[in-house]
Amino acid sequence: MSDLLRIAIVGFGEIACRQHVPAIAKTSGAALVAVVDPVKTPPGLPYFRDLQELLRDGPEIDAIALCTPPQLRQALAAAALAAGKHVLLEKPPGSTLSELAPLIAAAHEANRTLFATWHSRYAPAIGPARKLLASRTIKKVTIIWKEDVRVWHPGQTWIFEAGGFGVFDPGINALSILTEILPQQVFVRSAVLDFPANREGPIAADIELSDEDGLPIRAEFDFRQTGPPSWDVVCETEAGPVTLSKGGRQLRDGNRLVVDATDDEYPALYRRFVALTSEGKSDVDLAPLRLVADSFMLGRRRLVEAFED
């Protein structure tokens, strides 16, 4: 392989255009060399209609970044690993938990990297929040993760289809932060999921969680918020609240602003991907996906009014 990690993006939707392309361009030791998408044709790059066409006729590549809807990722990741390529999985890593175990085994067998990414964990305030909370006694956690689906996911009809996660597509970002900053494993205790009468995925969810010591945790997810989004995690401690906001870009300790930084999540993801491939390691943490699966398993389904995009 080349010293440069040559990457092809598979699935050239909004997240690939807005985040992955500029992040790869900023990453030393990585280069975007091809794109696969059945519809979009990016300028200035070799373009292929499907993965098999890329593998057969495309330029030499070392890695695949899978940015398709989650329902498609398992088969594409399996094919890429079988072809000897490293694989980066956009979040969520798949539609089910069971489909990830064979991919982990295949990556190990092929001596290739499998990286299940949780981009919100790489937000600039997450590391400082974890360190701050390690010295505190946490008494309660409240997550408010609400946004306007029409603004943040325009035209993405797959998100409300079976396996598309609905409001858990952004909500899993909050759960990835939660499982990163708390010292103990977290469990879902109960959930109420709001399903529009004309959709297969939930538009809102209220979830009660706790750790092994009974720490009360509540998460509120909603796709129906208008105006600015709310991406907040508030940890009540014996010394006052520790608040993560703006999706993990801002941290306050009480009233004191500790971190207020710009978005560097995806460049950090790709720096991690380059490091993993050079070290011959994988990184597949499924804790956030388990919490989503448990929410669907335990959740009480509540029908709400039809939703039209």
Q: What is the pLDDT of residues 225-274, one digit of tens each?
A: 999 999 999 999 999 999 999 999 999 999 999 999 988 899 999 999 99
Q: What is the pLDDT of residues 289-309, one digit of tens each?
A: 999 999 999 999 999 999 998
Q: Can you name the CATH fold of 5-116?
A: Rossmann fold (3.40.50)
Which residue matches tokens 């050079």?
Answer: 278
For residue 159, the 8-state DSSP code is: G
For residue 227, the 8-state DSSP code is: S
Q: What is the pLDDT of residues 125-171, one digit of tens each?
A: 999 999 999 999 999 999 999 999 999 999 899 999 999 999 999 99
Q: Which active-site residues does the annotation give?
A: 91
Q: What is the pLDDT of residues 271-284, one digit of tens each?
A: 999 999 999 999 99
Burial per residue of 136-148, b for 16 or more beta-carbon CB atoms within 10 angstroms, e otherwise: eebeebbbbbbbb
Q: What is the pTM of this model?
A: 0.95
Q: What is the pLDDT of residues 181-226, one digit of tens each?
A: 999 999 999 999 999 999 999 999 999 999 999 999 999 999 999 9
What one-letter code names the amino acid at 17? C
Three-state DSSP class for residue 253: strand
Indicate if the alpha-carbon torsion angle 70, 152, 304, 169 is positive or negative: positive
Indicate if the alpha-carbon torsion angle 124, 130, 136, 140 is positive or negative: positive
Which residue matches tokens 């985040």?
Answer: 19
Q: What is the pLDDT of residues 91-115, one digit of tens each?
A: 999 999 999 999 999 999 999 999 9
Residues 95/235, Cβ–Cβ less than 8 Å: no
Give the domain ranges of the chain: 5-116, 121-261+293-304
Identical topology for domains 5-116 and 121-261+293-304: no
> For residue 37, which of 62, 78, 8, 5 has the smallest C-alpha distance?
8
Binning pLDDT at 50, 70 and 90, where does residue 2 land?
low
- Tell me what pLDDT residue 1 has: 47
Q: What is the mean pLDDT of the chain?
A: 96
Q: Can you name the CATH fold of 121-261+293-304?
A: Dihydrodipicolinate Reductase; domain 2 (3.30.360)
Report the alpha-carbon distance of residue 88 to residue 247 in Å, rounded: 22
Bridge partners of residue 256, in order along the sequence: 253
